[in-house]
């Protein structure tokens, strides 16, 4: 069975995701992946000339063809599965279950790439660099994400009211979880809010009082890399969350509690955060002393 993708469907799907409280970053990512599929399909139908998504026919064969194309183009398996997840989600929303395709099977990795893991020492250098640049907002923003484990999309819940109570209630996808804010962090944020004359609402805002967007936070962090002597591949907001997770687990050894703190519905997701680097994995293998 074939179906036609048109602009109204995309608009309806966008509104659905927002009603379901998907983060804006997720909404844009899903729509971007669906448009990528539509563009690829249109180019296939017109010998390389793309045409509007409204003229694109979707079916199981097309979805499978796009999957094969992504593999041939050399996309990473995890990236391909993420893109397929976006497309399958759209198909489910439309009721086109027969169009969905299976994900690539990926063996779980036992270690992560060294050049992707931010260390505590590198984190400290980033903070020092931001301080020297007199960017106090960025210093506190990084400390807030790394000190609580929140997502960058959850920064908006760090408010004057939250630091007064020492806790932030975070609402995401219909779920509410409470994050405890360290006393030392609360004091720093109170002083910052007082200095910036922020009397209520969000702490981390632009000069005009608007919320900081993900791209702006990401951009400000990237600017620190060269001066801080940290590989740019390690510097992005979500890696601060990973550093929090590894540090928290190192002290508590309680993955269930960590999953609750991070807001994960599945412990399997939390396990990904705790994968060691190849270097650490190699040291563990050496300690087995099974080679004479």
pLDDT by residue for the chain (292 residues), tens only, comes to: 789 898 899 999 999 999 988 888 899 999 999 999 999 998 887 654 444 445 688 999 999 999 999 999 989 888 999 999 999 999 999 999 999 999 998 766 656 667 788 999 999 999 999 999 999 999 999 999 999 999 999 999 999 999 999 999 998 767 889 999 999 999 999 999 999 999 999 999 998 999 998 889 999 999 999 999 999 999 999 999 999 999 999 899 999 999 999 998 888 888 888 876 556 666 767 787 777 6
Amino acid 53: pLDDT = 44
14-17, long-range: CB within 8 Å, 24+ apart, which pairs? 16/93
Amino acid 71: pLDDT = 92
Answer whether 155's CB lies under 8 Å from 24's CB: no
Amino acid 110: pLDDT = 58
Instruction: Report pTM.
Output: 0.69
Q: Compute the C-alpha angle 147/148/150, nearest 5°.
A: 125
Amino acid 51: pLDDT = 44
């Amino acid at each position: 069975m074939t179906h036609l993708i048109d602009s109204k469907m995309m608009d309806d799907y966008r509104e659905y995701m927002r009603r379901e409280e998907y983060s804006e970053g997720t909404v844009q990512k899903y729509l971007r992946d669906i448009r990528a599929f539509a563009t690829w399909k249109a180019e296939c139908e017109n010998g390389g000339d793309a045409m509007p998504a409204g003229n694109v026919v979707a079916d199981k064969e097309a979805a499978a063809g796009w999957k094969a194309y992504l593999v041939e183009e050399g996309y990473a398996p995890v990236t391909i599965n993420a893109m397929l997840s976006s497309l399958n989600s759209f198909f489910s929303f439309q009721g086109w279950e027969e169009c969905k395709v299976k994900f690539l099977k990926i063996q779980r990795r036992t270690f992560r790439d060294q050049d992707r893991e931010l260390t505590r020492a590198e984190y400290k250098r980033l903070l020092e660099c931001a301080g020297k640049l007199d960017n106090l907002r960025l210093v506190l923003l990084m400390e807030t994400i790394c000190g609580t484990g929140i997502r960058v999309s959850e920064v908006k819940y760090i408010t004057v009211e939250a630091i007064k109570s020492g806790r932030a209630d975070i609402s995401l996808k219909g779920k509410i979880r409470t994050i405890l804010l360290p006393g030392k962090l609360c004091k720093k944020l109170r002083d910052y809010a007082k200095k910036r004359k922020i009397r209520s609402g969000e702490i981390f805002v632009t000069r005009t009082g608007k919320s900081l967007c993900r791209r702006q936070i990401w951009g400000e962090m990237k600017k620190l890399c060269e001066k801080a002597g940290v590989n740019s591949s390690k510097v992005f907001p979500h890696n601060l969350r990973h550093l929090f997770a590894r540090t928290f687990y190192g002290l508590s050894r309680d993955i269930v509690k960590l999953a609750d703190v991070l807001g994960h519905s599945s412990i399997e997701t939390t396990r990904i955060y705790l994968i060691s680097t190849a270097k650490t994995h190699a040291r563990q293998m050496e300690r087995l002393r099974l080679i004479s």
